[in-house]
Amino acid sequence: MAEEQDKLIKEISLPLFQSKGWMRFLGVIMVVYGVLIALTIVGILFAWLPIWMGVVLYQSANAIEKAEMTGQKEAVIQSLEKLKLYFIIMGVTMVVALVLTVLSLFLGMFGAMTGIEGMENF
């Protein structure tokens, strides 16, 4: 019974296991990106986010590798939980970025209209 479960876990984890190299690559790239952002004054405030995301992605790749090698159900669950966290962070980041972009557009248009109206007096 345990042997069948190990085989099933390895079979289920295979697609993620096959992409673990890309997960690690993106994790390292995100950490490097976060470090480069931290070199700027404003970037220090936001550098933790890509570093955190990179570490989470790298941890997910390590967990899925462990699951494929050992057949442990807990390792598959850990890997999927890390991927879930990665996508939650990415989703929240995108929502915040979209809101700030729309807000910036409206403030820019308002500022441009105010500036044009002010120029009519000259």
Instruction: Note whether residue 9 is domain-resident.
Output: yes
Counted domains in the chain: 1
Beta strands in 32-82 (DSSP E): none
Residue 30 covered by a domain: yes
For residue 107, tell me if it sits in a domain.
no
Residue 122 within any structural domain of the chain? no
Q: Who's near 13: CB < 8 A, 6+ residues apart? A: 64, 67, 68, 75, 76, 79
Lowest-confidence range among 29-33, 39-43, 48-52, 91-95? 39-43
Averaged pLDDT for residues 67-87: 94
Q: Are 20 and 83 in contact (CB under 8 A)?
A: no
Domain-embedded: residue 40: yes
Residue 116 lies in a domain: no
Looking at the domain assignment, is residue 110 inside a domain?
no
CA–CA dist 43, 34 (Å, integer): 8
Task: State pTM to two decimals.
Answer: 0.83
Q: What is the pLDDT of residues 41-67, one digit of tens each?
A: 988 889 999 999 999 999 999 999 999
Range(s) of the domain holding residue 75: 2-86
The answer to whether position 15 is within a domain reads yes
Instruction: List the structure tokens of 60.
Output: 């997910």
pLDDT digits (tens, 9 = 90+) for 1-21: 778 888 888 888 999 999 999
